[in-house]
Amino acid sequence: MIKVGAVFGGGKKLRPVWFFWSEKKYPVDEITFNWQSRRGRTVIQHFAARSGFDLYELSYDTESLVWTLSAVQTPE
């Protein structure tokens, strides 16, 4: 579980703008891709978020309202 600052736009639009991970705050510079998946009846919102040169997959469980960090990709 991570802490995320997000903006809810018109309708059901959701966009993360920053997140805390390992006691450090990361700004979301760009959302490069977003998609949905389902776990039973629960909808999970996924965001590929760039912060600096790194890419993070943030996932939001719309039922429990919990954010998780699902993946981290750093350039080699």
> How far apart, in whole angstroms, are the C-alpha atoms of residue 65 and residue 40?
16
pLDDT for position 13:
86
Average pLDDT over the chain reads: 94
Tokens of 72: 């981290």
22 pLDDT band (50/70/90 cuts)?
very high
CA dihedral 30, 17, 55, 36 (to 10 degrees): -90
